[in-house]
Amino acid sequence: MGCLKLTYQPVLEVHEQNSFLVKSAVEKKGHEQKKCLSSFTFGFQGQEGDDEVSGQGNSYVFKYRIHDPRLGRFLSVDPLGSSYPWNSPYAFAENRVIDGVDLEGAEWKDYLRKINNIYEAVLKVKKAFEIVVGAFKTVNDAVAVADQYDVKVTGKFTASVKFGLTGGLDIKHAGGIRSEIMAVQLIKVTGIIDYQTGELNGEINFIGKNGEKVISKGFSGTIPLIEMGIPASVGGGVDSETTKDAVTEEVKKHEGSISASVGALIGATLESSMSKTDETTKETTSIKVGVGAEGGALIVGKVNLDIIDVSLTKTTEL
């Protein structure tokens, strides 16, 4: 019958006889339809209400017992009462109605923990959402930054000979140390292949070419970690190259770089460098994978092979 409840009740009728008012009660059986206040019959703590027993909202049917919310008590004893002799067998939720509920009319249940679990789940979802939003923002920022740089993927070979106050031996990703107080570059050979276009270029510079000379300073070192049981090495270096007029000593270009490396024989090097001229400033960040060595005393030879060099260069006009 849906939400309609059928109830039977006696109906009193009043009769008049002659001139005297005679009242008699004649019982008739009738019926009426009583509508629920709501189509939802479940109420307190999600239990079904039984309004026919004690009136509307005064009786709720739990799985094991019937509860009277006016008293805050059950109408029958706890089916698990023998296991909890310290509790009243009629108590609702062991009288702990602040932090819990009654589970099916049988025992107390921690409801705050359920709420806390839901809250923690919401926080985790919120955190995940923030991470996703942050990732998108990071990607957008990275794209915006990348637009400002010239990206190149190349392979590079360099070999040079220098003369001056310099000495030591440093084999990249293997071990060693090299110190360069001041040295003049005698010759430098460079070969570059652009993996993006397939273009191959080479260049030879020597002292006096275009009336210039290159003065260099620097320090580098590599520490092997094999004694620690790690088949790798860490290293780093600081280098500076200044291009001057061979006669007037006028500075035409200055380059400086800081690098950090990790690897085993063939490893990766992260390098940040800056080159300045009278017209422009170039900032370059690159990741290189390759091998190299530098060593000698007074006359120093240097060889580097970067199998892959991914560089980002930003040029600013002065």
Same domain, 204 and 269: yes
Same-domain pairing of 96 and 158: no
Range of 95-109, 233-247, 268-282 with top mean pLDDT = 233-247
Do both 196 and 292 map to the same domain?
yes
Q: Which domain holds residue 86?
A: 4-111
What's the pLDDT score for residue 191? Answer: 94
Global pTM value: 0.52
* pLDDT at residue 121 tops 80: yes
Alpha carbon 161 to its chain's center: 48
> For residue 160, is it within any domain?
yes
- Could you tell me the two tokens for 152? 């190149």
In a domain, 306, yes or no: yes
146 pLDDT band, cuts 50/70/90, is low
Let me know whether 210 and 295 are in one domain. yes
Which SS3 state, helix, strand or coil, does residue 125 take? Answer: helix
* Number of domains composing the chain: 2
> Do 308 and 172 lie in a common domain?
yes
Q: Are residues 292 and 183 in the same domain?
A: yes
Whether 93 and 163 share a structural domain:
no
In a domain, 128, yes or no: no
Provide the token pair at 172: 């990249």
The verdict on residue 14 lying in a domain is yes
- Domain contains 121: no
Residue 69 identity = P
The token duo for 175 is 């071990």
The 10s digit of each residue's pLDDT in 16-74 is: 544 444 444 444 444 444 444 455 677 777 777 777 777 777 888 887 888 788 887 88
Give the tens place of pLDDT for each residue, 286-317.
989 998 899 888 888 999 999 999 888 888 87
